[in-house]
Amino acid sequence: MKTQLFAKQYSLKLDSISEVRRLLTTLCQQLALEQTEIDRVTLVLAEYLSNLYFHNQGSVNWFRIELAGVKSSWYFEVSDSGDSFDPYKVNVNDIFNGELLTSGMGLALIQKNNHNGHYESENGINKFTCPLRKQEKNLDVVIVDDDQTLLWAYKGYLQNDFVVHIFSAAVLALKYIQHEGCDLIIADIHMPEMSGFEFRLKVESFEKGALTPFVFLTGDDALSVQEQATEVSIDDYLIKPITKTPLLAVCNRVIRRTNQLALHYQQRIVESLSRPFKPSLPSKSGDWNFSLAHTPASEGGGDFVFFHDYGESKLLILGDIMGHGPVAKFHSFAIMGYLEGLITSIPTCPGILLAGLSSRLYLNQLLETSMLTCIVIKLTGNKCEIATAGHPQPYLLNDAGYKVIDCKGTVLGLLPDEEYSAVTVQLKAGEKLFFYSDGIFENIDRNCDCIDNILDGIKGTTAQYVLDQLWLRFESLLPGKLQDDATAIVIDLNNK
């Protein structure tokens, strides 16, 4: 099931292309992409749009850009109604001949920087896709030793598993660590400029320096030196000569242990934050029944649920801060505070509520490095108004099976005056509505067809019974610990 985070149509003008380029950078930053990936994506899409503008004059009046994804595999897609021109079918070796003289360099950049991209033309609409690459970053290791020969040997031992930075001068290593940081430090004890012990004390004075894993190297097997090494705040030490196997083993063990400790304390923080704000709903309110299931991620996530009863109508909100850990949890609490301020004694239209929340987030820049998806449901009588902002689309469940409810909207806080529209569903007897966070599909086996495996054949007379079946099926598909919060809600009308 595709989740749409952003979609907007523009007139094909240079001003629009410049605006989209700035927007792309913001979206990529909110997805926490590395700067090199942000540069790649903006280059590819800017070149494609420039080619569309300069070489399709008269045949293209508009273009549409979308950010969407399946199971967290995000991609940008540009669509237009101009003449079909597949940039992947051009032989870049001949780009400087004839008609491709001016556009060839841009096409070459597209081919080089978007290997997994795709172009198709169907029913008069062209679509160009730029998938986002998975962020896989090796850990940074700093090694300090005055012996150049040993430095290069150590680098050779570790370079296939880590990004290795070697320094023969302790002062230069300190400058690098202070400005760039690293994930592990390995330092010789006996160095001419300063001892390893002095070096360690200086590292501890840096921000996060005391928490950076640290390993000593020494050629001195005297017991007094070893005892001194164990008295300072280090994680391990190795006695020279050192071969690849023990060095690699110590690096992996020390980093693994540090990560375990960090995760332990992070979980304690998340648990203390989550306890008073665990998502909950009343089992009944007016004409409606509510059933909710929620499992937090092992590292904490950003799912939140908000409910308000106006009497004749009810308001239900399910949101998700994209991210994990205490930061995501803190942001979710802050958003709940915003919602408290936006919702007054007067029932609010879902589209207007999302527009107000989006404007406030845009002005306050609370989510500069994160992204918020949200779905708002207003219940009046048997009528259900639904508006979404980048959130997975809900489903209507009945005896015949299930079908998606087509409602989409841009993620919140991205644009200054974004508008949101609601769709209305008249719920009939026996029908149910299923709402969920994307953790439902992000956590399960990547090889299965998510919707079919979870929703197929699910039937029941009550919302709770249907949710119980859904949740049991979801849990049966989990490969291990949850990587993201998972929340599911099923609602229906009271049987009268």
Instruction: Place 96 in a pLDDT band, splitting at 50, 70 and 90.
Output: very low
A 10 A CB-CB count for 400 gives 9
Tell me if the domain spanning 3-131 has CATH number 3.30.565.10.
yes
pLDDT at 284: 93
Tell me which of 79-83, 199-203, 263-267, 488-492 is least confident. Answer: 263-267
**Secondary structure in 3-state letters for 26-60:** HHHHHCCCCHHHHHHHHHHHHHHHHHHHHHCCCCC
Strand ranges (DSSP E) for 138-259? 140-144, 163-167, 184-188, 214-218, 236-239
Tokens matching residue 160: 């296939």
Looking at domain 140-271, its CATH superfamily turns out to be: Response regulator (3.40.50.2300)
Confidence of residue 481 (pLDDT cuts 50, 70, 90): low
Q: What is the average per-residue pLDDT within 33-40?
A: 85
How far, in Å, CA of 35 to CA of 28, rounded?
A: 9
Mean pLDDT of 392-411: 91
The mean-pLDDT minimum among 225-229, 258-262, 307-311 falls in 225-229
Determine which of 56-60, 97-101, 373-377, 437-441 has the lowest per-residue pLDDT on average. 97-101
The sign one gets for the Cα dihedral 470, 476, 479, 481 is positive
Is this model's pTM higher than 0.75 or not? no
What are the b/e assignments for 110-122, b being 16+ CB within 10 Å? bbeebeebebebe
Q: Identify the burial level of 218 via C-beta atoms within 10 angstroms of its C-beta, where 0-12 means exposed, 13-18 middle and 19 or more buried.
A: buried
Span 358-386, average pLDDT: 82
- If 0-12 CB within 10 Å is exposed, 13-18 middle and 19+ buried, where does residue 280 land? exposed
Is the distance from CB of 47 to CB of 110 less than 8 angstroms?
Answer: yes
Q: How many CA atoms lie within 13 A of 153 on its CB side?
A: 13
Mean pLDDT of the chain: 82
Mean of the pLDDT values across residues 148-175?
Answer: 92
Taking residues 398-424, what's their average pLDDT?
Answer: 89
Sign of CA dihedral 379, 385, 391, 397: positive
**Which stretch of 79-93, 260-274, 422-436 has the lowest confidence by average pLDDT?**
260-274
Query: Is the pLDDT reported for residue 447 higher than 90?
Result: no
Question: What is the average per-residue pLDDT within 435-456?
Answer: 70
pLDDT at position 101 is 43
Extract the runs of DSSP E, i.e. beta strands, from 88-204: 118-122, 125-131, 140-144, 163-167, 184-188
β-sheet bridge partners, residue 148: none
User: Do the beta carbons of residue 397 and residue 384 sit within 8 Å?
Assistant: no
Domain extent listing, the chain: 3-131, 140-271, 278-493
Give the 3-state secondary structure of residue 380: strand
Q: For residue 262, give both structure tokens.
A: 């960090």
Most confident of 97-106, 119-128, 298-307, 410-419: 119-128
Task: Name the residue type at position 318.
Answer: L
Confidence of residue 99 (pLDDT cuts 50, 70, 90): very low
The full DSSP string for 192-224 is SSS-HHHHHHHHHTSTTGGGS-EEEEES---HH
Pick the more confident residue, 322 or 434: 434
Stretch (H or E) spanning 465: helix 463-476
The model's pLDDT over 230-254, given as tens digits with 9 standing for 90+, comes to 667 777 878 888 999 999 999 999 8
**Higher pLDDT among residues 151 and 13, named by residue:** 151
pLDDT of residue 222: 63
Is residue 241 reached through a cis peptide bond, with omega within 30 degrees of 0 on the bond before it? yes
- Segment 398-416 mean pLDDT: 88
CATH superfamily, region 278-493: PPM-type phosphatase domain (3.60.40.10)
Could you tell me the end-to-end alpha-carbon distance of the chain, in angstroms, rounded to an integer? 34
Tokens 């197929």 belong to which residue?
456
- Calpha distance 387→435 (Å, rounded): 12
pLDDT band of residue 100 (cuts 50, 70, 90) is very low
Residues 179-235 have pLDDT tens digits of: 888 999 999 988 888 988 899 889 989 988 888 899 988 877 666 666 666 667 777
Q: What percent of the chain has pLDDT over 70?
A: 79
